[in-house]
Homo-oligomer: A and B are copies of this chain.
Amino acid sequence: MIEPKLRPIGVIASDLKSLAEAPRQGAEGAPDAWLEIDPSFAEALLGIAVGDELLVITWFHRADRSVLRTHPRSDPRNPLTGVFATRSPDRPNPLGLHAVTVRAIEGHRLRVGPLEAIDGTPVVDIKPVLR
């Protein structure tokens, strides 16, 4: 079996510099941000256009991978729930899934939004939304 080790394909450049500033979901007021794709993967962007809807997969590098249950939205009034039934970043494989629209393209940099992931978050995949 191929070793399931991710290679970051790029990184997020965002005005969100800390988790405390970041909204819980993109649709909750997140800003636009840049996906700075590594030049070695730039040719994999061919065909992406301004206005496209994409799914960006990130690696929440600050996550706690030992968490299996959580109170959704960190609100103790919400019942304890398995992380696979939530979007908590704390989970065994802390993959973030972000639905964004492409605002601009500059070479191997994509301006996308809304995106709640913080500055410096590794990007591991980009996929088109299926219709």
Residues of A43-68 contacting chain B, CB below 8 A: 43-48, 52, 54-55, 57, 59, 61-63, 65, 68
Instruction: Report A35 CB to chain B, min CB distance, Å.
Output: 10
**B84–A25 touching, CB < 8 Å:** no
Shortest Cβ distance from A37 into B: residue: B84
Evaluate contact between B128 and A46: CB separation under 8 angstroms.
no
A82 neighbours in B (Cβ, 8 Å): 43-48
Say whether, besides A1-B61, A84-B48, A92 and B41 are in contact (CB < 8 Å): yes
Select which of B47, B63, B87 is within 8 A of A2 by beta carbon.
B63
User: B4, A45: Cβ atoms under 8 Å?
Assistant: no
| Residues of chain B with a CB closer than 8 A to A5's CB | 3-6
Q: How many copies does the complex hold?
A: 2
Q: Are the C-beta atoms of B80 and A2 separated by less than 8 Å?
A: no
CB distance from A131 to the nearest CB of B (A): 11
- How near does chain B come to A4, taking the closest CB pair, in angstroms? 4
CB <8 Å contact, B44 and A9: no
Tell me, yes or no, whether A95 is within 8 Å of chain B by CB. yes
